[in-house]
Amino acid sequence: MDSRHSAYKNLEKKIKEKTAIVGVVGLGYVGLPLAVELGHAGFSVLGLDISKKKVKLVSAGKSDIDDVSDQRVKKLVKSRKLKASSNFSLLKQADCVCVCVPTPLSKTKDPDVSYILSAFSQVKKYLHRGQLVILESTTYPGTTEELIRPMLEETRLKAGRDFFLAFSPERVDPGNPQYNIKNTPRVVGGTTSLCTRIARLFYEQTIVKVVPVSSTQSAEMVKLLENTFRSVNIGLVNEVALMCDRLKIDAWEIIDAADSKPFGFMKFYPGPGLGGHCIPIDPHYLSWKLKSLNYYARFIELAGDINSRMPEYVTDRVNLALNQKGKSLKGSNILVLGAAYKRDISDVRESPALDVMRLMEQRGAKVTYNDPFVPEVIMDGHSLKSRKLSLRMLKTADCVVILTDHSLYDYPWIVKNSQLIFDARNATRMVKNKKKIVKL
């Protein structure tokens, strides 16, 4: 048996027997749920993060991620199936390493892979024969093959022979009650066929269905297609909302009626803009990569332009609604409901609600907000704290602006006691009294 197959067989045995030690680098929205799922499946997990605060939190058996309960973390920490640390030398013990670090955009909307490179500089230090290394962070096609593989092979260990390298994009949807890590199919592509095979085996221990693709580039492209699809379609319905406003018809009625067609149509809804880490950011990774190949991704750029303008459009519409009541946005008391980027979660990453609040403040409005999931937000160097929703707050607000349609809100009560409502999410669709409501 050659060294390649020897390394493979040894790792295969450890994975199947759940004796493999797994290192998860990054304990954020992707890494912590993965670490918990792996620990629950029977693996011993080393959770590594540069944040001392995060390590302390997890070590105390607590979670700051909506979809991961304190109880699950505490159980794994207590049973020693999950250990959190900032000591990356622990990677020497790991048989498998999953890198789950942020991949933001720079101010010029170029990919910022500094977190990936920093994480892999640590992985490289402790890379050893027979180790499986997987990147889960969303990035542009070619990252694993062009950046990560050469870096790791500087150790003189070869991918596919001495260690195994793969890419498998995370598919986390915060707040989704139906789909989680375990029942969401996982795409995986390796730098060689053996890399793909062992990475597939690894994920099959915790995930119901694993879909192998031909390369790391293909796996990287899959994630970008998924989120570009959403970005472009959301851009389309946002433009439909702008059209319907000009035509004086109800965009929400049009979309729901079109959705009655059982084929050839998929429903998307307009809103105040795009939020979350993935959809506003990932398509720009693809666009940037294609520019280097002298190709302009027109759909991506157009959708990005439309979606990025929605917070300003919402602000203009609130101003117009106030004007029709004989008021101006400047000096008005504005109560915003919802700061998170989507319903029933605490995540404010790239939240359009923050952009709308910022724009209204810049135009002289007195902005307060309530969000049962978000106690505080930081805007332009100052903080705003969520205020308890009260009858007095509703009655004294010149306009209540619904930017996140949390299910905890009592919308009939909100409408009844408000002077004016601007509803950017169609949250008040079941309320009978429509006279006070202006919809996106």
Distance in angstroms (rounded) separating the CA atoms of residues 17 and 37: 16
CB atoms within 10 A of CB 179: 12
Q: Which residues pair with 389 in a beta bridge?
A: none
Is-contact 436 415, C-beta < 8 A?
yes
Compute the distance between CA of residue 427 and CA of residue 353 in angstroms, rounded to an integer. Answer: 15
Cα–Cα dist 176/343, whole Å: 10
Read off the tokens for 336.
């915003």
Who's near 414: CB < 8 A, 6+ residues apart? 337, 394, 400, 421, 428
The catalytic position among 96, 98, 100, 278 is 278
Count of Cβ atoms closer than 10 Å to residue 86 Cβ? 13
CA–CA distances in Å: residue 200 to residues 263, 319, 365? 33, 53, 54
Bridge partners (DSSP) of residue 438 are 422
**Regarding beta strands 437-439 and 382-385, do their DSSP bridges make them parallel or antiparallel, or are they unpaired?**
unpaired
* H or E segment to which residue 35 belongs: helix 31-41
Ramachandran quadrant class, 188 (left: phi over 0; alpha: psi -120 to 50; beta: rest): beta
List the alpha helices (DSSP H) in 163-250.
193-204, 216-247
Concerning whether 399 is annotated as a catalytic residue, the answer is no
Q: Angle CA(134)–CA(138)–CA(140) in degrees, nearest 5?
A: 105
Cβ within 8 Å of residue 248, ≥6 positions away: none
| Active site (catalytic) residues | 278
